[in-house]
Amino acid sequence: MTSRTWLITGANSGFGRHLSEQLLSRGDRVVGTFRALGSVDDLSTRWPDAFRAARLDVTDPAGITAVVDEAWAALGRVDVVVSNAGYGLMGAAEELTDEQVEHQIATNLTGSIRLIRAALPHLRRQGGGRILQLSSVGGQAAWPGGCLYHATKWGVEGFADALAGEVAPFGIDVTIVEPGGARTNFRYGGSVLADRIEAYDGTPAAGIRRILTERTTEGIGDPALMATAMIAAVDQDPAPRRLVLGSDAYQAIETALTARLADVRTQRESAAATDAPLEGVTTGGPADLDA
């Protein structure tokens, strides 16, 4: 087992907490970020030499740069960057306020992008490393009532997918983590529910409101086992591009991708019908970008 140094955002709860505890217990070093004062004091007390706490709100660009730069300056090397901080904003699109929309994007999408961009020069200079980007089953499948959350997760997956090709020449690997429902505080403690518009009662978008208000369902996933799987993925070579965690995630993603592919395949001829004549034309579509 190789000892590593990790930078984990949102280390105070959920997957970030499970990752931090498991890594520290096995002898790794962790720079863990948090927002609420006192939320990681126990980690600092138990592992004073191995755990470095850093207060950070990922919507603060200057704060992200400072935390990342200080981590490398203090420790010399960070092997794994885990972009984990985020939350769920739930409600129909019309029920959301502009402020809620902006904050969800700033946290889940822009915050993740800024964190990774801040780390890239350090990873490149040290000759490589690993990035784990926490996404969700909601980054591949989508349900009514979660449109903004899905927008951020689909967006960050597109970013990470393209990023992987950009940074591979520098020995930097990227894994997108796609957990299903897990028994963390994400569902009932970390989710924000938009104010209700009565017109949406009884529509598909109301389903998530019912779940969050009645609190009668529980995720199938064991967060400790999921964290263990994330840690194990860092030892895999080549790195898995996507890490699906939970039977519910697997089923939902397979169903969504199968339906999407079936829809695309019905349009093969109609798609080709919009091509320009090839005579004298140099094509330059997305497929050519690999050349």
Catalytic residue from among 87, 135, 136, 200: 135
d(C-alpha 166, C-alpha 164), whole Å: 5
Q: Single out the catalytic residue among 83, 112, 149, 200.
A: 149
Contact 139, 179 (CB under 8 A): no
Give the C-alpha distances (Å, rounded to integers) separating 227 from 32, 110, 184, 243, 269.
15, 24, 12, 11, 45
Q: Given the residues 87, 112, 136, 153, select the one marked as catalytic.
A: 153
87 is catalytic: no
135 belongs to the catalytic site: yes
**153: annotated active-site residue:** yes
Q: Which residues are catalytic?
A: 135, 149, 153
